[in-house]
Structure formats: structure tokens, C-alpha cells
Amino acid sequence: QVQLVESGGGLVQAGGSLRLSCAASGIVFRFNAVGWYRQAPGKQRELVASITQSITRAGNTNYADSVKGRFTISRDNAKNTVYLQMNSLKPEDTAVYYCNLAPPGPSGLWGQGTQVTVSS
């Protein structure tokens, strides 16, 4: 059974940092492109960062314009985990953050997400 488990969210003041983790089981991340998505209340889920498949190297990354220069996606193939380092957080970054394949896999692959709340 494939399972993705996000963690690392929390409440932080504007300008602060958080590091999200996405641990996978039943799927090997390094053979897949992986993305971090977020969904704010009343808004559609959006892709904020992605990293290409990478067997031996780090992989290429892409970012939404709204997070470029502040967020960094990375992967640890040995731990089968993808991270999202979020710096200079803004109140508009408040959302539930999810990881998934990029593009997303079957609907059942979505995890529970991790809540990020940025106070002004």
C-alpha cells in the first residue's frame, strides 16, 4: 500500500521558517517527480514546488512564483523523504500542505497534509 505522510507544520510568525517532511512507503520517491502542494481555505489546491526524479543526483526543481526564492524543495533518497524548507514565511502562505507525485497520482494517494499557519 502506498502511503505519504506529511509532517513539520505549525504556527509561526511572519518572517519565520518551517521545514516540512514527506515520508513515503510503498513507493520509491527517487524514481518519481514529487511535488509539494497547498490548499488555503476557499481556494483550490496549488502546486508550490516540485523536484524531478533523481536516482543519483539531486534532481531539478521548480517553484511557483509566489514562493520562489523563499522555499526550497529537496530529497533524501536514502530516507525516501522529500522536504520543503520554507523561509521568510508570509500570512498568505497559510494553508494545508500536501506532498504527492508531480503530476499527482491517484486520488487515494493524498495524505492528511500538515497545517501551516503564519501569523502577522
| pLDDT of residue 56 exceeding 80 | no
User: What does the pLDDT look like over 24-50, one tens digit per residue?
Assistant: 999 888 889 999 999 999 999 999 999
User: What does the pLDDT look like over 82-96, one tens digit per residue?
Assistant: 999 999 999 999 999
| pLDDT of residue 58 exceeding 80 | no
Q: Which residues contact 11 (CB under 8 A, 6 or more apart)?
A: 117, 119
| pLDDT of residue 115 exceeding 90 | yes
User: What's the pLDDT band for 101 if we cut at 50, 70, 90?
Assistant: very high
User: What's the pLDDT band for 73 if we cut at 50, 70, 90?
Assistant: very high
